[in-house]
Amino acid sequence: MVVREFLIEGMSCAGCAMRIEKTFGERPDVAVASVNFAARTLMIETTMSDSEIAVIVGQLGYKAVPGDAEEELAAAELREIRVALNRLIWAVVFAFPVFVLGMFSIHFPGSNWIQFLLTTVVLAWPGRKFFVNATKLARSLDANMDTLIAVGTAAAYFYSVWLLVFQNVHHYYFESAAVIVALVLVGKYLEERARQGASMAVRSLMALQPEQALVVENIDSTVTRAVGVKLVKMCELVMVRAGDRVPVDGIVRKGSSHVDASLVTGESVPVVALEDTIVQAGSLNLSGVLIIETQAVGAASVLGRIISTVKHAIGTKAPIQRYADKVAAVFVPIVFLLASLTFLGWLLLGNSFSESLIPAVAVLVVACPCALGLATPTAMLVATGRAARNGMLIKDASSLEVLHKASVVVFDKTGTLTEGRPVVVREHWTVKSLCLQRNTILAAVRALEQQSSHPLARAVVLHASLPSHLGSENVLPVLVSNVVELPGMGISGSLYDVNKSHTIHVGRLPESLEANISQFFPDLSVRAGMSLVPIALDGEPVLIFEVQDALRSEAQEAVSALRANGVKPIMATGDRASIAERVAEELGIEFFAEMTPSGKAELVQKYRNEGLIVVMVGDGINDAPALAVADVGMALGGGADAAIATAAITLRESSILKVAEAIALSHETFRTIRQNLFWAFAYNVVLIPVAMSGYLTPMLAAGAMAFSSLFVVGNALRLR
């Protein structure tokens, strides 16, 4: 048997995925069949050919495209979102005149036929998918909201047609059928947009790996040949130029550089890459040229494993089934049964066919799921609009349904709880500095570091440029010559002052000096999480900077707000334990350090397996797997594209105070949804018996249905 992958087009719900899996699972020539609804892919191990598989999927009402699903997915999503938008636009265009004519009882010659024609177009074109899906489900004796919509609109439509042809009346129910379709298509369009987040996350991660690698024949060769990354072999030598991303996992065999490895570690400070250093695919080479011996390619690389983790997490995360869908499978048969019993009962009581039909149609009309269909989408629509105005972009509205039950929030550290960039927090001077003005030394340090590629150089330059240092004595810019930088050692140059030359060095000191650093700086107390940047003048230490990634100003308040609502905050980071411990102590929270991307995802899954609802908050590529696994993923707006694409909620203002605010909004939204659903169901329970007894005509049923819908919409608008 051979494993094949297909892109599946046309699925509208998780039930579609289950139908496809069930169909293939019952065949003896299929070993395994797994459908990922979020990514819209079918993985199947079988002896069947691609064409045979495509035919079976086609018979179920879907389309199977063989090959690399990732390459097809973007085009398919673009088509589907365009189709969903077109359906919505045309449904509104045709339904609006019907709504005006019907609801305001506007009558003129031919107005009834205009309503008939426009409603026919709405049901046959934009609303056609509801009837197609309802038919598919009926064949397997199943039902969902599409079935309810198809039944309700069909009842209103065909009864109106009967009145139009056989009865001389002025009131019809075309507007009920047309408006229901238009309103539900609003929700369908929003759901279609949300569905794209899964594959966007995968594509954002895949974009981090270059399509080609520059392969060299030997370690001293400068001649390269471009090879597709998937074709690079183990132990082949690959050249990575400054500014390029590393295409494979490997070991540096020649060269030195600084590499941004935040993809794996999450650390804000890039690492020094020297000979025998291990580097990962997707890391960014910041300075020198590296020759790397390939150790892992594609799916076997660290980046490949991150992509696989995200795809698996998105595919296996249980979708939130709306309350309306849960009850639909039972509600639809009951409504059909009650309508049939009503018709037969009135016939048996001696009434005519038309007299018996009226209460039966009233049952179907009053059971029409307008309020039921609006209960959740309207609340979600208003809540997401309010969230957007307050800096929270909610891509997956269903996340609001679960967020109110959050019991654990897992924070990334770097860039989430901290600013994500190193800053100088303290400086220490020695008496040696008296031979030059301090601001002259700082000016020289600034001139040197402006030419440095070291990741801490920017922090030093910003600190040395403060007005408090240079503005008070109005020192002119210092000229530094003979600049030399050695990766891992620091940067040096020559400084001239009053016809005297000084050598100034920023970076690592000789071992003999570093061992006795406390003699030069007696007030220096090295704390966990601090990076030290020493400056030597003529070979002797004169200044040392303490550099750290500072906590966000709102971090303490955000953690306190979560605790006040009974939510446990936790920190998970790829940073060293000493750095993580300092941040955790300041915030008073539990922490996990030196975690890989998959380790973070496993931690989140562990809490979920314990029955807890977990929110993951992060900003980096290395957070993407955990964001995908979590019940609700939140990404900071200034974070990596892959994190933003994977998360259900993006905090546009990059303020983690919004985490508690989003949870509070979820509480309000869920309370409103429950109120709406209670009203919608209570309305049906009360009015269906009234319709069966004949006291509720189809016209009154349509009016009651409209009132119920207005109540639901009005209740949802209170969320604003």
* pLDDT per residue as tens digits for the range 657-711: 999 999 989 888 888 888 887 877 777 778 889 888 888 766 566 666 667 767 7
Residue 60 CA to residue 203 CA, distance in Å, equals: 29
In terms of domains, do 543 and 556 share one? no
Structure tokens at 142: 């199943």
Asked if 370 and 288 sit in the same domain, the reply is no
719 vs 266 pLDDT, higher one: 719
How many domains does the chain contain in total?
A: 5
Q: What is the pLDDT of residue 306?
A: 72
Task: Tell me: do 545 and 433 sit in the same domain.
Answer: yes
Boundary (domain end) residue, out of 526, 550, 574: 550
- Share of residues in the chain with pLDDT > 70 (%): 82
- In angstroms, how far is the first alpha carbon of the chain from the final one? 56
Cα–Cα dist 462/702, whole Å: 69
pLDDT, tens digit, 9 for 90 and up, residues 551-570: 888 999 999 999 998 999 99
Output the domain CATH number for residue 558. Answer: 3.40.50.1000
pLDDT at 663: 92
Are residues 165 and 92 part of one domain?
yes
Asked whether residue 338 is domain-assigned, the answer is yes
388 Cβ contact partners less than 8 Å away, ≥ 6 residues apart? 394
Q: Is the pLDDT of residue 124 over 60?
A: yes
**Is the pLDDT confidence value at 409 over 90?**
yes
Q: Which residue has the higher pLDDT, 438 or 187?
A: 438
| Residue at a domain's end among 28, 49, 67 | 67
Give the CATH number, domain containing residue 500.
3.40.1110.10
Question: Residue 8 corresponds to which amino acid?
Answer: I
pTM of the model: 0.64
Same domain, residue pair 430 and 412: no
How many other CB atoms are there within 10 angstroms of residue 340's CB atom?
12
**Any idea what the Cα angle at residue 631 is, between residues 83 and 552, rounded to 5°?**
105
**Residue 381, pLDDT above cutoff 60:** yes
In a domain, residue 307? The reply is: no
Query: What number is the average pLDDT over the span 444-468?
Result: 81
Q: What's the pLDDT at 264?
A: 61
- pLDDT number for residue 324: 55
Residue 520 has pLDDT above 70, yes or no: yes
- Among 491, 511, 512, 514, CA closest to 503: 491
Instruction: Write out the residue range of the structural domain in which residue 88 sits.
Output: 77-203+319-379+676-717
Looking at residue 564, its amino acid is A
Q: What pLDDT score does 94 carry?
A: 94
Q: What is the pLDDT of residue 474?
A: 46
Q: What is the mean pLDDT of residues 223-236?
A: 89
Q: What is the CATH number of the domain that holds 259?
A: 2.70.150.10
pLDDT digits (tens, 9 = 90+) for 14-67: 567 777 888 898 899 998 888 876 567 788 888 998 889 999 998 887 888 876
Of 198 and 637, the structure prediction assigns the larger pLDDT to: 637
DSSP-based three-state secondary structure for 555: helix
CB burial string 273-310: b at 16+ within 10 A, e below: beeebebbbbbbbbbbebbbbbbbbbeebbbbbbbbbb
Dihedral sign from CA coordinates of 512, 515, 521, 522: negative
pLDDT digits (tens, 9 = 90+) for 538-552: 888 888 988 888 888
Query: 48: domain CATH number?
Result: 3.30.70.100
What pLDDT is recorded for position 327?
A: 65
pLDDT tens, 65-97? Answer: 876 545 555 666 677 788 888 998 999 999 999
pLDDT digits (tens, 9 = 90+) for 477-499: 677 888 888 766 788 999 887 67
Residues 6+ apart with CB under 8 A from 5: 41, 42, 43, 44, 66, 67, 68, 69
State whether 562 and 643 are in the same domain. Answer: yes
Whether residues 199 and 326 share a domain: the answer is yes
pLDDT of residue 523: 77
**Among 171-175, 419-423, 623-627, which range has the highest average pLDDT?**
623-627
**Residue 524 φ then ψ, to 5°:** -80, 125
**How buried is 229 (Cβ within 10 angstroms: 0-12 exposed, 13-18 middle, 19+ buried)?**
middle
pLDDT computed for residue 465 by the predictor: 79
Do 585 and 632 fall into the same domain?
yes
Is 447 inside a domain boundary? yes
370-389 helix and 174-206 helix, angle to the nearest 10 degrees:
40
Please indicate, yes or no, if residue 311 is contained in any of the structural domains: no
Is the confidence at residue 281, as pLDDT, over 50? yes
Q: Is residue 689 part of a domain?
A: yes
Name the least confident of 291-300, 350-359, 394-403, 442-451: 394-403
In degrees and rounded to multiples of 5, residue 280 shows phi and psi of -110, 150
Q: Write down the pLDDT at residue 471.
A: 47
- Assess if residue 391 is contained within a domain: no
* Type of residue at 670: F
Contact 456, 269 (CB under 8 A): yes
Q: What pLDDT score does 421 carry?
A: 77
Catalytic residues: 412
Residue 214 DSSP SS3: strand
pLDDT at 635 over 60: yes
Kindly state the percentage of the chain with pLDDT values over 90. Answer: 17
Q: In what order do the strands lie in the sheet with 271-273?
A: 271-273, 257-260, 284-285
pLDDT at 125: 92
Which pLDDT score, from 0 to 100, does residue 74 have?
60
- Per-chain mean pLDDT for the chain: 80
| 327 is a domain residue | yes
Residue where a domain terminates, one of 550, 569, 593 = 550
The Cα–Cα gap between 2 and 594 comes to 39
Q: What is the pLDDT of residue 93?
A: 94
78-92, 117-131, 208-222, 470-484, range with greatest mean pLDDT: 117-131
Verify that 196 and 327 share a domain, yes or no: yes
Q: Which residue has the tokens 């990514």?
A: 39
Q: Is residue 306 part of a domain?
A: no
Assign 314 a pLDDT band (cuts: 50, 70, 90): low
pLDDT of 320 reads 41
The predicted pLDDT at position 439 comes to: 81
Which range, 135-144, 417-426, 627-636, has the best average confidence (pLDDT)?
Answer: 627-636
Q: Which residues pair with 549 in a beta bridge?
A: 422
In the predicted model, what is the mean pLDDT of residues 260-272? 67
Are 194 and 117 in a shared domain? Answer: yes
Co-location of 447 and 533 in the same domain: yes
660 and 599 co-located in one domain: yes
